Copies of this chain bind each other. A is one copy, B any other.
Amino acid sequence: MWEQRYALRTKQMKSSAIRDLLTITEQPNVISFAGGLPAPEVFPVAEVGSIVQKILQNNGAQALQYGATEGYFPLRSLIAQRYSSAELKLTADNVLITTGSQQALDLLGKLFIDPGKQVVIEEPTYLGALQAWNAYGAQYLTVPIDEQGMLVEELESRLQDQPGWIYALPNFQNPSGTTLSLARRQRLIELAMHYQVPVIEDDPYGELRFSGEPLPPLLHLAATTNTTASELPIIYLGTFSKVLAPGLRVGWMIGPQQVISKLAQAKQGVDLNTATLNQMIAYEMMQSGFLQEHIKGICAQYRIRRDSMLEALTRYFPQTAQWSKPDGGLFIWATLPQGIDSKALLSQAIRQKVAFVPGSAFYANGGGENTMRLNFSNATPKLIQEGIARLGQLLQTLPEMATILSPVS
């Protein structure tokens, strides 16, 4: 009685690679570079505990009750204040609290995508965005990336037919780990303004920078030429998942008030409001200044793990492989010699009890067969060394590698 009823949607939602991979991750003794999980060691468990007590004692009835769809007002105000700049004056009306950043992606799809609608994405890009938008029937115009992020010179040709938006992850991109350079950020904004195509700036990792100098978000770069928030061509997505705890499911969107108001209307039909207690936890953590200090600790840990993985890659991976050197975030992107299929490699790797995500999962329109995403945040340096060593050994034994290393003359 059920099958014929969801044929269409099922086809649109067939990609569930992340979920299947999380299942592998949960197997005991697997060294997993597959997920995008924060290190549990850095969760501020005790602080969450004492803040929950404080909230419940002072404000228990509000914390456990329904709340406004737009979110907990003090949290919205605080986020508005934090992202305001000399050129950009934001208020709570510019902020919608979401049930994690993933919900922001879904709400954007619900409001703006009808079947067949084209949107511009980086290639590769965040798999969760594809999953959210596939369900609405999105089509993708892709722009390749290099070590400085999106190849903005290739963007212009994608903007001719008024796509729905440009989706950009400027900082420590998922999956590639690359950061969009300042010159490219400026050019991207120019093009967006010229062609009147909005930009979705997804920035879950921006505060997790371990090296190099911070770059301004597109949100601020756009504001220098365009002073009122209502004319902003940007919707900025942020989240507490990577800097506090993903299990809380609290994120935010910043944008023009009239768009935020429509998105809130969409959210009302989706989950009424984000868990009130959780929003209050995030607010207290942010308001007290604890969060800023806490982020420094996360960065210190992750820097060690990134350095450990880069060192292990140099030691164990073949010289014919290449990989990104991210200044922050959670991921390194490795490119194997042409001809190596990282999907096939994964099934062998799992037998060796080590996992990663084949890069092709992040390509909307196919490609990337010889690439892989390696997460360095969720494993200790010791396990990183061991896991990369196993992958390196596996690569050395591949018949394809032999061909590449000593081609038949």
Give chain A's interface residues, CB within 8 Å of chain B: 1-3, 5-6, 8-10, 13, 16, 18-19, 22, 26, 35, 37-38, 40-41, 43, 45-46, 48-49, 52-53, 56-57, 60-69, 99-100, 102-103, 105-106, 110-112, 114, 128, 131-132, 134-135, 164, 196-198, 231, 233, 241, 245-249, 256, 258-259, 262, 264-266, 268-278
Contact B134–A9 (Cβ < 8 Å):
no
CA distance A4 to B274 in the complex (A): 28
Residues in B with CB closer than 8 Å to A128 are 269, 272
Contact A275–B259 (Cβ < 8 Å):
no
Residues in B with CB closer than 8 Å to A262 are 6, 9-10, 13
A and B contact pairs by CB, cutoff 8 A, 26 listed: A2-B198, A5-B198, A6-B259, A6-B262, A9-B112, A9-B266, A13-B265, A26-B68, A37-B65, A40-B61, A41-B61, A43-B64, A45-B60, A46-B56, A48-B64, A49-B56, A53-B53, A63-B247, A64-B245, A65-B245, A65-B246, A65-B247, A66-B247, A102-B271, A103-B271, A135-B269
Question: Closest chain B residue to A107 by CB distance?
Answer: B270
Q: Say what secondary structure dominates the interface of chain A.
A: helix
Extra 9 A-B pairs, beta carbons < 8 Å, given A19-B264, A37-B66, A48-B64:
A2-B256, A6-B262, A19-B268, A40-B65, A45-B64, A99-B275, A103-B271, A132-B270, A278-B278
CA distance A132 to B1 in the complex (A): 23
Contact B13–A269 (Cβ < 8 Å):
yes
Contact B102–A272 (Cβ < 8 Å):
yes
CA distance A197 to B4 in the complex (A): 12
Contact B248–A275 (Cβ < 8 Å):
yes
Name the distance in Å between A189's Cβ and chain B's nearest Cβ.
13
Question: Closest chain B residue to A67 by CB distance?
Answer: B247
